[in-house]
Structure 1
Amino acid sequence: MLRAFGGLTVPSRMLVVNQFGINLGFYLVLPFLATYMGSLGYAAATIGLVLALRNLSQQGMFLVGGSAADRIGCRPMIILGCALRIVAFGLFVVVDDLPGLIVAAVLTGLAGAFFNPAVRAYLMHEAGDRRAEVFSVFNVFGHAGALAGPLLGAALLAVDFRLVAGVACAVFTVLTVAQLFVLPARPVEPQDRGVLGSWGEVVSNRRFMLFALGGAGYFALFNQLYLVLPVEAQRVSGVAGAVSAVFVVSTLVGIAGQVRITAWCRARWSEGRSMAVGLLLMGAGFVPIGVAAPFVPTAPAGEWTSAGLLAVAPVLVGTVVFTVGMAMTSPFSLSLLPRVGSEQLAGTYYGWYYLVSAVVVAITNTAVGELLDRFPDGPGRWVPFAVLLAIGVAGGAVVAGMQRTGRLEPRPVPTP
C-alpha cells in the first residue's frame, strides 16, 4: 500500500489524501442520518426518499459538474464543491423539519456533483495507463476516511447529531482552504464543440449508455450502505451502535483488501470480467441477510446482548461479501469508463454515467424503502433483499455481455 502510494504523482497524492478528508466529513453525518430521522419520527419510506433526493441531486448534477470541469478546469470545481459542503452540513446543525432536511441533503449532493467528477477526471489524466491501480489507492484512502468518520460520528452522536454535523462542517472548511493553497491547476483542453454538442455525443454513444446501465447497479447497491444495511443491523440487534459496526466492517475490508483485490483481478481476469463478478458479489452480499431476516424478530432497543450479536452476524457477513464486490467493481469501472467514452470529454462522460445511475438509485431507494415498510418483520422480510440480489445479477450480466461481445475493447484509432 505504501509503495503504491509512493508511486503516485504529487497531485495524485494530494487528491487521494483529500479523499480521506472528504469521506471523513461525509461519513461523520450520512451513516447516522437515517437513524436520526427515525428518532424524529419519520417513516422508512420518507427517509428513503430524502436519501434518494440527496443521491439524485449529486449524481443527477454530475452532468453539470463534469461538463464544467472539462471547460473551466478540475481544480475550481473541486474547491467549489467542498465549499458548498460547508453550507450543506451547516444546515444540518440548524434544521430538523422535513423541508429543511431535504434542502440540506440536496445541497450535500450538489456539492458532491461539483467535486466528484472533477477529482476523477483529474486523476484519470494523471494516472496514464495505471488507472485501475491509482483508483485502487484512491479507494483505500476513501475507505480509511469512511472508517474514521462513523467512529468519530458515533462518539459525537452521544452528545448530539448537530455536533456531528458541525464537526463535518469544520472538516470541509479545512479541506477547502488546503485545496486553495496546495492543489496545482491542470491545463484545460480546448473543446471543439459546445456543451449540447458534447452531450449529444454521449447520448449517441450506444456502448457507453449500455455500460452506464450496467454500472448503475453498483450505485443502486452501494447506496444500501445508508439505507438497508444500517436499518436491518439496528432492527435485529436493537442497538444503534450496530450501524457503526456495519461501516467499520465494510471499511476495514476495503482498506485491507482493495489494493490486493485489484492486483489479484488484474493478474487473472480482464477489467470487464472483474467488474461483472464484482457486481454479482455485491448482490450476493444480501443473500445471508435475506435468508436470516424472516426468522429474526425486531429487537427491542437496548444494549448489546449475545442474542443481538448473533442476530447481526448475517448482516456483517453480507457486508463483507458486499464490500469485496465493491472493491472489484469500482476501480475497474472507473478505468473502463474513458475507454467506452472519451478522454477529452472525461468529465462529461463521468457526469452522464452518474446521471443514469442517479435515476436508477432514486427508483431503487424509494422502492426498497417501501418494501422495508411493507414487510417490517416476519415471513416477507426477504423480499427487499431479493430485489437487491436481482440488481447485482442484472448489472453483472450487462457488463459480462459487453465483455463477451467485445464492446469493452478500445476503439480502433483511425489511420490518416
Structure 2
Amino acid sequence: MTTTTARADGLVRLLVGTQFAFNLGFYAVLPYLATHLGEDLGLAGWLVGFVLGLRTFSQQGLFVVGGALADRFGPRPAVLVGCALRVAGFAWLAVARDTWSVIAAVVLVGFAAALFSPAVETEVARLAVERERRTGERRTRLLGLFNAAGQAGALLGPVLGVLFLGSGFPTACLAGAGVFTLVLLGHWRLMPHRPATAAPRSFTAGLAGIARHRAFLLLCLAYSSYLVLYNQLYLALPAEVGRATGDQAALGWLFALSSGLVVLCQVPVSRWSARALTPRAALRAGLLLIAAGCGATALLLPVGGLWPALAFVVLLTAGQVLAVPAARALVPDLVDERELGLHLGAMSSLAGLLVLAASGPLGALVDVEGATSWLVLALVPLAGALCVPPRPKGAERSGQGLDHPGYE
C-alpha cells in the first residue's frame, strides 16, 4: 500500500468515525430539547416551536454557506471552527435560562453544524470519487458506510442522553459538548490541511450558476422528494400511530427500528447496489420504494394495528439506504470539483426549504381520514423519480466531475 493510499484510507476512517460522533453528541441532546424548553424553562408552546424551527434553519438553511466556505478555505478550518462553536453552543445551552440566551445558544449549535457537516460530506464525496478512480470500487459503497455511521450515532445518541438526564438537562448538554471536544481534538491532530487547487467563484456567482444548472436543480428536486417523505416520520407517522393505538408509546420503537435498519442494512445494500445499479437507477429505485411504502400503508389501513406504520417505516428506510448515497454520488458528475462543497450544501439547503414549504399543505393531510392522505404522499417520491437527471453527455465511466456550465 502506498503512502498516499494509506493516508486516504486513514482519512476515510476519520471522517466516518466523525459522522458517528457528530450524531452521537447531537442526539444526546436534541430529543430532550423541547421538553427542557417547555417544562424546565416554562416557554410557551409557540415559542418552543419557534426555537426548534430556528435551529433547523440555522443548520439546514445555511449548509450552502458552510459548503462554500469549505471550497474556499478547505475542509479542515470549517470542521475545526464548527466543532469549537458546537462545544460553545452546548455549554451555553447548559446554563442558558432566559429566552434570548436560549435562542442564541440554539442558533450557535445549528450554525456550527452548517460549518462542519458540509465540509465533512464534501471531503467524503471527494474521497469516494478518488477511490472509485483508483480501485474501481463504486463511490456509493463509501457514501453508504458514511450514512450508516451517522445513523448509528443517531441511534445511540439518545441512549447517551438518557444516561445523563438523571442529573438534569445541563449535564446532557455538557456530555454532548464533551463528545465534540474529543472530535475537535481528533481533527486538530489527524485531519490534513488540503489547500484549494484553484479559487472557486464568488459566492454570488456560484449561486447564479446553480440557478442556471438545470440538471443539478433536477437532482435537488429528486433528493428533496425523499426528504419531504422522511419528514413524515415526525408528522404523518405520529398521527397514524395515535389513530391506531390511542397513544404515542410505540413511536420511539418505530424510530429505533428505522435507525437500526439503516445501521444493519446500509453497507450490504450499498455493496449490492454498487454491483447491480448505477447511482441514477439506485436513486430512482429508492424513491419508488418510498412511494410503495405510502401505498402499502394505504392498503393496510383496514388491517389496523401497527401494520400500516410498520410498512411505512420499513419501506421508507429501504428507499433511504438506496437513495441517499446515490444522490450524493451524482453531484460530482454534475459540478466542477472546485465547487463541490457549495453544491452539496446547496442541495441540502434547497431540500430543507422545500420541506418547509411542503410542511403546511402535507400537514393538512394528517386530518384526512382513510387512504387518501397516504396516496397523495406517494405522489411526491413518484414525482421525484421523474426528476432524476439523465447522465451528462461526455461523463466518464469513472465518475470524473464535469466542469460547471459557465465556469470562468
TM-score, structure 2 normalization: 0.81
Counterpart of 2:352 in structure 1: which amino acid?
Answer: A
Counterpart of 1:396 in structure 2: which amino acid?
Answer: A
Note if 1:16 corresponds to 2:16.
yes
Contact 1:48 1:366 in 2 (8 A): no
CA distance in 2 between partners of 1:157 and 1:287 (Å): 39
Alignment length, in residue pairs? 385
CA distance in 1 between partners of 2:293 and 2:206 (Å): 38
Contact 1:48 1:365 in 2 (8 A): no
Aligned to 2:344: 350
Within a 5 Å distance, the mapping from 1:313-328 to structure 2 comes to 313-328=307-322
Task: Give the secondary structure class of the aligned counterpart of 1:193.
Answer: coil
CA distance in 2 between partners of 1:262 and 1:187 (Å): 31
Contact 1:277 1:325 in 2 (8 A): yes
CA distance in 2 between partners of 1:281 and 1:320 (Å): 10
Contact 1:281 1:325 in 2 (8 A): yes
Q: Percent identity?
A: 33
Q: CA deviation at 1:287?
A: 4.5
Contact 2:25 2:176 in 1 (8 A): yes
In the TM superposition, what whole-angstrom CA distance separates every residue of 1:126-167 from its partner, at most 9, and x where no partner exists?
A: 221242111111112112112211233345456644443332
Aligned to 1:398: 387
Cα RMSD, aligned residues only = 3.5
TM-score, structure 1 normalization: 0.79
Distance change (3 Å), C-alpha of 1:65 and 1:55: same
Q: Which runs of 5+ in 2 are unaligned?
A: 1-5, 133-137, 404-408
Contact 1:338 1:346 in 2 (8 A): yes
Distance change (3 Å), C-alpha of 1:332 and 1:413: closer
Within a 5 Å distance, the mapping from 1:309-388 to structure 2 comes to 311-369=305-363, 372=366, 375=367, 380=369, 385-388=374-377
Task: Give the secondary structure class of the aligned counterpart of 1:187.
Answer: coil
Distance change (3 Å), C-alpha of 1:79 and 1:316: farther
Q: CA deviation at 1:194?
A: 2.9
Distance change (3 Å), C-alpha of 1:333 and 1:192: closer
Note if 1:176 corresponds to 2:184.
yes
CA distance in 1 between partners of 2:29 and 2:239 (Å): 15
Q: CA deviation at 1:383?
A: 6.2
In the TM superposition, what whole-angstrom CA distance separates every residue of 1:16-65 from its partner, at most 9, and x where no partner exists?
A: 0111100111222334445666766866x876665444333222211211
When structure 1 is superposed on structure 2, of 157-166 and 72-81 the one drifting more is: 157-166
Aligned to 1:58: 59
Note if 1:410 corresponds to 2:399.
no
Distance change (3 Å), C-alpha of 1:29 and 1:217: farther
Aligned to 1:299: none
Contact 1:135 1:331 in 2 (8 A): yes
Task: Give the secondary structure class of the aligned counterpart of 1:380.
Answer: coil
Within a 5 Å distance, the mapping from 1:183-194 to structure 2 comes to 183-191=191-199, 193-194=201-202
Contact 1:219 1:361 in 2 (8 A): yes
CA distance in 2 between partners of 1:207 and 1:34 (Å): 39
Distance change (3 Å), C-alpha of 1:223 and 1:189: farther
Task: Give the secondary structure class of the aligned counterpart of 2:29.
Answer: helix
CA distance in 2 between partners of 1:385 and 1:207 (Å): 29
Aligned to 1:122: 123
Counterpart of 1:81 in structure 2: which amino acid?
Answer: G
CA distance in 1 between partners of 2:211 and 2:240 (Å): 38
Task: Give the secondary structure class of the aligned counterpart of 1:332.
Answer: helix
Contact 2:333 2:402 in 1 (8 A): no
Task: Give the secondary structure class of the aligned counterpart of 2:197.
Answer: coil
CA distance in 2 between partners of 1:388 and 1:409 (Å): 36
